[in-house]
């Protein structure tokens, strides 16, 4: 490939150390497609003879149809493709690399890969969001305790809890789409760094590969990988949200919570304790998140000290990036599967929601709505809670007279407050009242339909 200037061949250890083939062979199809567009353009512009271009294009198409073994003594997938093409069609293959460098070629391959991975990621998010909507439609009106500080706080609807994840994932999908817009630029034509002396039609290549525009600055086009950083940053946020969902699934499937039972096919047994059924899939959904963050940090560090423009360090953009994409995409599929196949034990949710003290805020609100300053109402109800705890009683068991002993402002509607009353009272936009949650659910279902259009 570059032997002309050298009298020695590359040290074997150096080749092993520097080759990117084990990693970038994943770009094989994108590399070939990019080359087909490039060869066609070269012929249209009169840079190479049409007959040679034809031979190149048909040879590359054959490679796509019958991929060669993607290993051997090559520096990278680009050299492998060129060598395989030469083996197939002989001399005309030597014209393919006219007006091109591996620097603009690899940047093009990566942008092609990123675009398709971003679409795949959005599709994976849609799948999890659909699963959340399905469960919310089926069991969403079940009442459960809402938590802050992992302490029972106020009753909420299960649908409300599930749709909170829907919203988080919706923003992640938005971040992936935003990243698409900036990845969608063709670098090819930037050459090694300075552009090309041939009369290239870059717009033609962009159209052929589906890019919306061509890069404006050739140095930038070969030097930067911020489009990968954006993708990884979006994946880091997405992985974080999946990890939190996984944590809820782990907690909820304990005997202590008992809110859900994960499907057997997504749990594992213990080699020593015969009774155990462990939520390993959910745990690893949480556990693999660190590797996704690691990929983001690794790439930021790789880039931070590089002088303009291309440096071989950039080759290190791929391994961790590919791994992060795979981890998150596999995680999305498993999250959707766990949600869809789990059994929600709504009677356990209801039992937990009817915590003896869970109506405390609402008693304070009752007083505040009757003219007692909220701080004072809080203090009064604090006293009732203390009395209830001391005597092992429930707040909803207190009679009107008993409540009035703490404040004369109490009225009959403060007696016997049930989780369903408390939930129904929170009828503010975004609140947990059944009407509000059902509006959220309708919005989510409608939005999912719209988003499917983007993926297609």
User: Shortest gap between Cβ of 293 and ligand ARG (angstroms)?
Assistant: 23
Minimal distance in Å, beta carbon 61 to ligand ARG?
A: 23
Q: Based on CB atoms, which residue is closest to ligand ARG, 317 or 355? A: 317
Task: Indicate whether 106 belongs to the interface with ligand ARG (CB under 6 A).
Answer: yes
* DSSP string across 192-211: TTT--SS---HHHHHHHHT-
Q: How far is the CB of 103 from ligand ARG (least distance, A)?
A: 5
Contact indicator for 111, 447 with CB cutoff of 8 Å: no
- Say which of 61, 116, 270, 413 is annotated catalytic: 270
Size of the site for ligand ARG (CB under 6 A): 9
Which residues on adjacent β-strands are paired with residue 152? 147
Shortest Å distance, C-beta 76 to ligand ARG: 4
CB atoms within 10 A of CB 256: 8
Pairing of strands 213-214, 185-186: parallel
Does 104 bind ligand ARG (CB under 6 A)? Our answer is no
CA–CA dist 23, 28 (Å, integer): 10
Question: Residue 320 or 349: which CB sits closer to ligand ARG?
Answer: 320
Which member of 149, 265, 271, 391 is catalytic? 149
Question: Footprint of ligand ARG on residues 74-103 (CB under 6 A)?
Answer: 76, 102-103
Whether the bond between 411 and the residue before it is cis, its omega within 30 degrees of 0, is no
d(CA 258, CA 84): 59
Residue in 226, 9, 8, 187 with CA at minimum distance from that of residue 101: 187
Query: Token pair of 16, please?
Result: 């092993």
In whole angstroms, give the CA distance from residue 253 to residue 267: 11
Query: 95 vs 102, which CB is nearer to ligand ARG?
Result: 102
**Cβ burial 75-101 (10 Å sphere, 16+ → b, else e):** bbbbbbbbbbbeebbeebbebbbebbb
Q: Which residue has the tokens 């403060």?
A: 414
Q: What angle do CA 235, 437, 171 make, to 5 degrees?
A: 15
The smaller minimum CB distance to ligand ARG, of residues 97 and 345, is found at 97
- Binders in 1-40 for ligand ARG, by CB under 6 A: 20, 24
Nearest to 287 by CA among 252, 330, 257, 233: 330
261 catalytic residue (yes or no): no
Within residues 291-350, the interface with ligand ARG by CB under 6 A covers: 312, 314-315
Closest CA to 93 of 103, 104, 82, 102: 82
Residue 314: CB minimum distance to ligand ARG, A:
5
Of 189 and 331, the one with the shorter C-beta distance to ligand ARG is: 189
Nearer to ligand ARG, 299 or 358 (CB): 299
Q: Are 200 and 229 in contact (CB under 8 A)?
A: no
Nearer to ligand ARG, 104 or 127 (CB): 104
Smallest separation (angstroms) from ligand ARG to the CB of 220 = 16
- Spatial contact of 186 and 211, defined as CB atoms under 8 Å apart: yes
Q: How far apart are CA 157 and CA 435, in angstroms?
A: 11
Residue 223 contacts ligand ARG per CB under 6 A: no
Least separation in angstroms between residue 106's CB and ligand ARG is: 4
At 112, list the tokens: 């092609």
Contacts of 443 (CB under 8 A, 6+ apart): none
149 catalytic, yes or no?
yes
Q: Furthest-apart CA pair in the chain: how many Å?
A: 102
> Is 342 in contact with 258 (CB distance < 8 Å)?
no
**Minimum distance from CB of 306 to ligand ARG (Å)?**
12
Residue 276 or 312: which CB sits closer to ligand ARG?
Answer: 312
Name the residues that contact ligand ARG, by CB under 6 A: 20, 24, 76, 102-103, 106, 312, 314-315
Active site residues per annotation:
149, 270
């Amino acid at each position: 490939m570059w032997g002309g200037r050298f009298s020695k061949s590359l040290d074997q250890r150096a080749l092993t150390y520097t080759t990117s083939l084990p990693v970038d062979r994943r770009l094989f199809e994108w590399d070939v497609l990019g080359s087909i567009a490039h060869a066609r353009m070269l012929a249209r512009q009169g840079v190479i003879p049409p007959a040679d271009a034809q031979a190149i294009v048909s040879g590359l198409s054959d490679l796509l149809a019958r991929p060669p073994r993607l290993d051997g003594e090559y520096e990278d997938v680009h050299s492998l493709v060129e060598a395989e093409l030469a083996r197939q069609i002989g001399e005309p293959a030597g014209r393919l690399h006219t007006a091109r460098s591996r620097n603009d070629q690899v940047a093009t391959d990566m942008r092609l890969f990123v675009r398709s991975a971003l679409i795949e990621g959005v599709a994976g998010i849609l799948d999890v969001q659909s699963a959340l909507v399905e469960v919310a439609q089926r069991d969403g009106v079940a009442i459960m305790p809402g938590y802050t500080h992992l302490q029972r706080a106020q009753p909420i609807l299960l649908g409300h809890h599930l749709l909170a994840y829907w919203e988080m994932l919706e923003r992640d999908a938005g971040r992936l789409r935003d990243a698409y817009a900036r990845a969608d630029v063709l670098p090819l034509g930037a050459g090694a760094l300075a552009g090309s002396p041939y009369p290239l039609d870059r717009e033609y290549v962009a159209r052929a590969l589906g890019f919306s525009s061509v890069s404006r600055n050739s140095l930038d086009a070969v030097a930067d990988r911020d489009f990968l950083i954006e993708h990884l940053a979006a994946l880091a946020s997405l992985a974080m949200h999946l990890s939190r969902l996984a944590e809820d699934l782990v907690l909820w499937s304990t005997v202590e919570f008992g809110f859900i039972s994960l499907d057997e096919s997504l749990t594992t047994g213990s080699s020593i304790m015969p009774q155990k059924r462990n939520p390993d899939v959910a745990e690893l959904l949480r556990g693999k998140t660190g590797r996704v963050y690691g990929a983001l940090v690794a790439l930021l560090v790789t880039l931070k000290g590089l002088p303009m423009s291309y440096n071989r360090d950039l080759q290190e953009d791929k391994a961790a990036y590919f791994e992060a994409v795979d981890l998150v995409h596999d995680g999305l599929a498993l999250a959707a599967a766990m949600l869809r196949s789990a059994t929600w034990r709504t009677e356990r949710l209801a039992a937990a929601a009817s915590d003896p003290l869970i109506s405390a805020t609402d008693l304070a609100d009752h007083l505040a709505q009757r003219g007692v300053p909220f701080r004072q109402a809080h203090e009064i109800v604090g006293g009732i809670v203390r009395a209830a705890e001391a005597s092992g009683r429930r707040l909803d068991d207190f009679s009107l007279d008993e409540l009035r002993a703490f404040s004369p402002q109490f009225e009959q509607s403060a007696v016997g407050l049930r989780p369903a009353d408390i939930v129904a009272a929170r009828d503010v936009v975004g609140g947990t009242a059944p009407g509000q949650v059902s509006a959220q659910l309708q919005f989510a279902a409608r939005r999912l339909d719209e988003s499917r259009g983007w993926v297609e």
